[in-house]
Structure 1
Amino acid sequence: MKHIGIVEDDSNIQNIVAAFLKQEGFQISLLSSAEDGWELWKKNPPDMWILDLMLPGMDGYDFCKRIRKESNVPIIIISAKDEEIDKILGLELGGDDYLTKPFSPRELVARVKRLFKRVDVMLKHQDVDDDRLKIGDLLIYRNDRRLFWNGEEKEVTTKEFDMLLLLAENMNRAFSREELLIKVWGDDYFGSDRAVDDLVKRIRKKIDKIPLETVWGYGYRLRDKEEDK
């Protein structure tokens, strides 16, 4: 039974969302503040979070950042803030999906199921140990910094390897260009984010048919095509 933590200070929304999710067989924990959510995380971490942004005390943005420092557990953000900048910020901080209030509880349930399916597919197809990471046709040896596609070794640069390893370790998660700059080039890099686009072009040229997708207006992700089946 999947455990979902709902961090929402509106009791009506809490109860409605919980009722729909319980009907689908999910175990639910209701939290009215991010502080309560953090206590739950330390004691009995959920398999997914449904998170409001506007909370008393610690807000949803800070809570999302805290969780992301420790885990890639799925996070669905629900918020009355419907400006594009709010959605982008929520996704940049690590949210996997964003739903604007008011919303249909059935739509939320559908998104929860789809996100769990995506995670399950990733785990099913991911063969990983301390050194070896295999997802579909992609095989990476971390320690030797070697990369294989369809059984053929590919010669890649340091940055190409670092980006592919990051994306493969976070399959299906979209990274913004700014986030990729920090994680691959370092937070002291002062160049343009065009460096990310250029690196992706080189990777695509070297590795034909690799499912490295553009998230328009945002960044890139490595997509597991099995999630759509």
Structure 2
Amino acid sequence: MDKILVVDDNKEITDLIESILEKEGYEVVKAYSGLEAVNLFEATMSLVILDVMMSEMNGYEACQKIRQQSQVPILFLSAKGTDVDKVVGLSAGGDDYMVKPFSAIELVARVRALIRRYHYAGKIQQSTNLIVVNDVLAIDVDARKVTKYGEEISLTRTEFGILELLAQNKGRVFSTEEIFKSVWQDKYYEGNNTVMVHLARLREKIEDNPRKAQIIKNVWGVGYKIED
């Protein structure tokens, strides 16, 4: 059972979150200040839900203290909802940021996603025969197999070739011509949209939202890349 540390100086909120999460099968530990959260934190915990405005030690400070000993996902849950607040929270080491008031459905969805990615990242880090992308994809070049969150994805030979090329050269931008010459091993001619068609199909399989790609990114006017 995953254990979640819930931190807020408002007891009604911690009790509400506890009720929501326990119904989903999670074990909840509650703290009412940043200092108490740091003292209660255990390496076995799978997630921390952290308020920002608290006495003794605020949420940003508590996050930084926890980050010194663990990469556990941290979800800020705060009434402070400006873009600046969110940037500060993520810069302090948070993984996600929700604004109060919140819906139970959205809270559970974010909790599940953060914990799933955390466990999956832990598994793939143990393997040295993989190319890991965004803690989401694991590409086994020798077996020519791709998994997303641990579930195997069926790719064509061409789709795998494009993904392998970009993943093995993280940070480098490839033009459609360079991709075509490398994967197809053939001459490229202007107006050939073959690469774009295959990229679109590949994104449908590997991206959570193909229209807002987070794995294979466009560099407008230049080409495509997977970030390091």
| Short-chain TM bin | 0.5 to 0.7
Distance 1:152 1:73, change over 3 A: closer
Q: State the distance in 1 between where 2:83 and 2:48 align.
A: 21
* TM-score (norm: length of structure 1): 0.59
Over the matched positions of the two proteins, sequence identity in percent amounts to 32
Q: State the distance in 1 between where 2:26 and 2:120 align.
A: 19
Q: State the distance in 1 between where 2:217 and 2:71 align.
A: 20
SS at match of 1:13: helix
Distance 1:34 1:153, change over 3 A: closer
Q: Which residue is 2:120 aligned to?
A: 121
Kindly provide the amino acid, as one letter, of the partner of residue 14 in structure 2.
Answer: Q
Kindly provide the amino acid, as one letter, of the partner of residue 116 in structure 2.
Answer: K
Aligned pair 1:211/2:180, yes or no? no
- Counterparts of 1:1-229 in structure 2, within 5 Å, are 1-41=1-41, 45-128=44-127, 134-135=131-132, 136-137=138-139, 150=164, 200=171, 203-205=172-174, 211=215, 213=217
Q: State the distance in 2 between where 1:48 and 1:137 align.
A: 26
Deviation per CA, 1:87-112: give whole Å up to 9, x if none: 11111111111110111122111110
Distance 1:80 1:204, change over 3 A: same
> For the Cα contact (< 8 Å) 2:131–2:167, is it kept in 1?
no
Q: How many residues align?
A: 161
Q: State the distance in 2 between where 1:152 and 1:73 align.
A: 29
SS at match of 1:211: coil
Q: CA deviation at 1:14?
A: 0.6
Q: Work out which of the two has the higher radius of gyration on C-alpha atoms and give 1 or 2.
A: 2
Q: State the distance in 2 between where 1:106 and 1:62 align.
A: 28
Q: CA deviation at 1:69?
A: 2.4
* Unpaired stretches in structure 2, ≥5 consecutive residues: 133-137, 142-162, 180-198, 200-213, 219-225
Q: State the distance in 2 between where 1:8 and 1:20 align.
A: 15
Kindly provide the amino acid, as one letter, of the partner of residue 5 in structure 2.
Answer: G
SS at match of 2:72: coil
CA RMSD of aligned residues (A): 3.3
